A = this chain, B = another copy of it.
Amino acid sequence: MARSSQTQMAVLGGLSIEPMTAYALREAIRDVLGHFWSESFGQIYPTLQTLEEEGHVRRREGPRARSSVFEITGSGTARLIELLTEPIRGTPPRDGLLLRLFFGRTLGRERCRGLLEAARDTALKNLQGYESLQTQLSAQEGDTPDWPFIEVTIRAGIHHSRATIAWADESLAALGDPAGHPEPEEPQP
């Protein structure tokens, strides 16, 4: 029972906004929740089947041959609330960037700087993405009851990106400017 309640949460949540095909659901999860969630086909299809058997979603004929549009049922909404109320199951942390930086003495200062610069660039791009998303969606959806909650998740991305940029800049300064003196003398004796 309960094939990955985490996936069920995302699937039921998606369908709670709008009925769609499994394919569209995966695209919606990738495009809309992509900054903090992901699901693959291999999870979505079996989960939809389970949810259908349990009566939490209903399958209707889709716009094409052999395609199905899924919609959430009353019991599905109840199940969604139940899942959303469950305690958050935290994934054990696995940050490949920090692991590499931690062993920076072995990896080498220059390569660490490279990693930090790449992280900074990525964070900057993400930040710009979040900001334009916020502007765009607030115009489009600013009046819907979902908007305040959606905006909270976008602002999480904004805060996180800004923190990453500030941290990377600070760290690049701490690891020394390579220009002129690739391995600077220890500043403090």
Binding site for B on A (CB under 8 A): 6, 9-10, 13, 16, 33-38, 77, 80-81, 84-85, 88-107, 111-112, 115, 143, 145-146, 148-153, 155-156, 159-160, 162-164, 166-167, 170-171, 174-175, 186, 188
Q: Which of B16, B37, B152 is in CB contact (< 8 Å) with A106?
A: B16
Once the chains bind, are B93 and A107 in contact (CB under 8 Å)?
no
Q: Which of B9, B84, B104 is in CB contact (< 8 Å) with A148?
A: B104
Once the chains bind, are B159 and A163 in contact (CB under 8 Å)?
yes
Q: Chain B CB within 10 Å — which of A89, A105, A164, A188 has the most?
A: A105
Once the chains bind, are A88 and B97 in contact (CB under 8 Å)?
yes
Q: Which of B80, B115, B155, B170 is in CB contact (< 8 Å) with A155?
A: B170
Once the chains bind, are A146 and B91 in contact (CB under 8 Å)?
no
Once the chains bind, are A155 and B143 in contact (CB under 8 Å)?
no
Q: Chain B CB within 10 Å — which of A6, A101, A143, A170 has the most?
A: A101
Q: Chain B CB within 10 Å — which of A10, A97, A149, A166 has the most?
A: A149
Q: What is the minimal beta-carbon distance from A186 to any residue of chain B, in angstroms?
A: 8
Instruction: Give the CA-CA distance A187 to B35 in the complex, in Å.
Output: 29
Once the chains bind, are B163 and A102 in contact (CB under 8 Å)?
no
